[in-house]
Structure 1
Amino acid sequence: MSEKSSVNWEQLEAKPEFRALLARKWRFIVSSTIFFVAYYFALPVLVGYFPTLMKKEVIGRINWAYLFALSQFFMAWALAFIYTRKAAQWDKEAAAVIADH
C-alpha cells in the first residue's frame, strides 16, 4: 500500500473518454435502479388498486399476484446478470483509458 500509484488521477479525470465512461455508468446505474424500484413497488400498488385482477387465477390456484411476485426474482437475477456484463465492459474501457494515459 505504501507504493505510489503511477496514474495521475487528476489528469485522467479531466480526459473526455473517462468522463464519458463515468456518464455511461451513471446513466445505466440510475436507470436500472429506477426500473428495479418501480418494478418492486408495482406489486403492492397493483394489489392495492386492482385486487380483483390480482386475485384472478392463471394456472391452477396460482394467481396474478403470485406470478408477479415470482417474476421479481427473475427480474432481479436478470438485472444482476446484465450489470455484471456491463461492469466487465466498463472495466475493459477503464483499463484502455488508463493505458492511453
Structure 2
Amino acid sequence: MSASVARVPTASASRYLQQLAKHWSHKMTVSFTAEEGTITFPNGSVLAMRADSETLDLLLTVPAGEDVERMRGVVASHLDRFAFREAPLTFDWREG
C-alpha cells in the first residue's frame, strides 16, 4: 500500500468534495457529508477527503502494484473539472 496526502487550498472545499462524491457514486462505493467523504475505487484504492473553510485535505491510499501517479492524476483532474472557475487547483502531493 502507498499513501499520498495533499492539502488543496480552496474556499469551495465542501462543494468540490460533494460534487466528486456524487459524480463517482454511481460506479464506486461512496460515503460523504459536507465535511468528509470516502471513495473506494474498483482497483482497491481509497480516497478520503476532509473539507474546511480554507482547504480540501486528501488522503489517497493505493494498493501495491497499482499506479500511484495515475491515481493522483485521476483525482486531480476530476477536482479541477469541478473547480473550473479557479482551476487549476494546487495539489501538493507527498508520501503519507
Q: TM-score, normalised by structure 2?
A: 0.33
More helix by share: 1
Q: TM-score, normalised by structure 1?
A: 0.32
Return the index of the structure with the highest Cα Rg.
Answer: 1
More strand by share: 2
